Structure 1
Amino acid sequence: MTGKADMSGIVCAAVTPVDANYQIDVDLLARHCQRVMAAGCRYVSVFGTTGEGASFSSAQKIAALDGLIRAGVPADRLIPAIMTPVLSEAADMLGAIERAGCRAALVLPPFFYSAPGDAGIVAFFEALLARAGSTGLDLLLYNIPQFSRIAYTPSLISALLARFGARIAGVKDSTGDLQNGLALIEAFPELAIFTGDDRVMPPLRLKGGAGMIGGMPNLFAADAVQVLAAPDGADTATLRAYAARRIEAVDGNGGLPVIKAMLARETGEPGWTRAVPPLGSLPEAVETRVLAALAETGYAPDTAA
């Protein structure tokens, strides 16, 4: 653990390329991780929501994590997600993340049972750490109740801090609600509070937020880094306006498949267009519509570096 000071910045929630058999394309993912880090992302979070983390087994993700590191992606710049309600799979993933020397783990609450209560979630973490043999890795709490149905509420965060102390390093708040993020900053000044939303990031940063862990840096990493450095600066006003329009165009037309389609255009790698069922590829008509909307924000994927 290295503390809140270095737990900040733009973190790309990386999409995951797959082959025709829906296996993780580690080489393509490694090149993408290097690309977004070169564009200024401090860390990369693999196998989260944007990375289709719930569509892969822990064994698949552990093998891919090992492959990324062997391909030269620095382990200490990776924040893999744990996206399973299965205790044994979650523990296997956490153990692998810690042994690899990753910066932290992003932990989704166990999402099948809708009302386990704070005590139940604390018990899950207790068993998770014990079974994984985890002793020192920082944990980020992944708050996305629109998917998990369980929120990391202030009372739950307080209970986790009381039990696990500094092991709880921060929160990724993917509610898209600025007031929720601001309330977390006020209640937990010792934690790194990230948003998952480009539109929330500037005002959250001005109040002490850590930055963003989000999907849009897959396409716009350098712009997000500029905005983080000057969240209310005159020189980033256009970028802030573009960010809002871009996320509306992407999320309003399917989200993840849009990002993958744009990456296929940017890189010339058609494999990016695949997603694991039940997700699918972006229809051509939708891609045309998105391209037109993004072009109005200066985006030209066919000529992107």
Structure 2
Amino acid sequence: MSIPPIKGVLSPVVTPFDSNLRPDIDRFVRHCRWLEANGVGLAVFGTNSEANSLSVEERMMLLGALIDSGIDSARMMPGTGCCSLTDSVQLSRHAVKLGCGGVLMLPPFYYKQVSDEGLYRYFSEVVERVGDTRLRIYLYHIPPVSQIPISTALIERLLKKYPQTVAGIKDSSGDWNNTKAVLEAFASAGFGVFAGSETFLLANMRAGGAGCISATANVNPGPIHRLYATWERDDSDAQQANLNAVRAAFHNFPMIPGLKQTIAHWSKDRTWSKVRPPLVELTDAQKAKLLGDLDALGFDMPGLVR
């Protein structure tokens, strides 16, 4: 079955919670619609979605709500990688059934120093148990958080066994040399390499990459998508510099609370600032500093529902 590869800019969509810390479906769908309107695909249940604070049932419910709302499933890449093999299979099967263009899959991250053999068996079991030719897996390499790297040797082995299923990777290592090595090894064969931050978007596109999956696409989707769409123009370096300045404004704060506070401020909806424990909201001083830094850059979120 021919399934178009996912390309472009995707957002690991932040998950809104109500006063009882339950996922807020209406706010979630509205935010996803705004992202879609700005040209951005949806990597729901990524790191910045607080995915590992959500149950399997909650993820499945939210994904179903997006589909029911009419949002294009072809540009969805929900996170389905869990420590539990059976949870990963259940979530991946559900995503395929709903027509998602791919799934973003963390390695099982609780046990450390696991071998490539163990990781190969894990990913292989997911593929075999889902048992659907429509499954497209994008590996999630984020060793600063998971402490479980995905090596080029492992990618090569998976591609040899599952060339149609293993479709790409998100590299959130923060190490351009690693991204470059993956691009050089696999991009020419159609393996989609996504940078884990828009900081590397221009370099990734120039080297044959597929785009980026970035936390700050939650709040700055239009300009990030614009660089992806126009990276060959003469002003691309200036666009990249502007994106870097916005990204830098978030670096001194916990990313997830910072993103949610930004949405809360520009939507004038305080509920957006809620996070699930063990995360905590920004302090008043942190809020003032972040919003002041963004104001100084002329930052805005045009079209956001208020």
Shorter chain as denominator, the TM-score bin is: over 0.9
Counterpart CA distance in 2 for 1:120 and 1:104 is 23
Q: After alignment, is 245-254 or 187-196 more displaced?
A: 245-254
The CA RMSD measured in Å over matched residues stands at 1.8
Counterpart CA distance in 1 for 2:287 and 2:274 is 14
Shift in Å, 1:130: 3.2
Tell me the matched-pair count.
303
Deviations 1:209-238 (A, max 9, x none): 111011111111110111113336443444
Identical-pair percentage: 29
Correspondence for 2:185 = 187
The 5 A counterparts of 1:132-281 are 132-189=130-187, 190=189, 191-231=191-231, 233-281=233-281
Counterpart CA distance in 2 for 1:246 and 1:222 is 13
SS at the partner of 2:86? helix
Q: Specify the code of the residue in structure 2 equivalent to 1:265.
A: H
Q: Specify the code of the residue in structure 2 equivalent to 1:250.
A: F
Counterpart CA distance in 1 for 2:298 and 2:87 is 43
Shift in Å, 1:21: 2.2
Shift in Å, 1:304: 5.9
Closer/same/farther in 2, CA of residues 36 and 302 from structure 1, 3 Å limit: closer
Shift in Å, 1:303: 8.9
Answering whether residue 101 of structure 2 is matched by residue 103 of structure 1, we say: yes
Instruction: Report if aligned partners of 1:94, 1:134 keep a CA contact under 8 Å in 2.
Output: no
SS at the partner of 1:199? helix
Closer/same/farther in 2, CA of residues 253 and 302 from structure 1, 3 Å limit: farther
Deviations 1:112-148 (A, max 9, x none): 1112211111111222233334332111000001111
Counterpart CA distance in 1 for 2:86 and 2:246 is 39
Closer/same/farther in 2, CA of residues 301 and 166 from structure 1, 3 Å limit: closer
Shift in Å, 1:295: 1.9
Closer/same/farther in 2, CA of residues 234 and 304 from structure 1, 3 Å limit: farther
Counterpart CA distance in 2 for 1:166 and 1:275 is 37
SS at the partner of 1:50? helix
Deviations 1:44-67 (A, max 9, x none): 110110101111111110111111
Closer/same/farther in 2, CA of residues 28 and 129 from structure 1, 3 Å limit: same
Counterpart CA distance in 2 for 1:226 and 1:135 is 33
Shift in Å, 1:163: 1.9
Decide which of 65, 68, 74 is 1:67's aligned counterpart.
65
Counterpart CA distance in 1 for 2:205 and 2:302 is 32
Q: Specify the code of the residue in structure 2 equivalent to 1:32.
A: H
SS at the partner of 1:102? coil
Instruction: Report the TM-score, using the length of structure 2 for normalisation.
Output: 0.93
Q: Specify the code of the residue in structure 1 equivalent to 2:181.
A: A
Counterpart CA distance in 1 for 2:23 and 2:142 is 24
Gaps of 5+ in 2: none
Closer/same/farther in 2, CA of residues 72 and 303 from structure 1, 3 Å limit: closer
Correspondence for 1:8 = 7
Instruction: Report if aligned partners of 1:48, 1:83 keep a CA contact under 8 Å in 2.
Output: no
Counterpart CA distance in 1 for 2:83 and 2:277 is 20
Correspondence for 1:33 = 32
Closer/same/farther in 2, CA of residues 303 and 119 from structure 1, 3 Å limit: closer
Closer/same/farther in 2, CA of residues 169 and 295 from structure 1, 3 Å limit: same
Instruction: Report if aligned partners of 2:202, 2:236 keep a CA contact under 8 Å in 1.
Output: no
Instruction: Report the TM-score, using the length of structure 1 for normalisation.
Output: 0.93
Q: Specify the code of the residue in structure 1 equivalent to 2:281.
A: S
Shift in Å, 1:267: 1.7
Closer/same/farther in 2, CA of residues 179 and 254 from structure 1, 3 Å limit: same
Deviations 1:230-256 (A, max 9, x none): 336443444322211221221321111
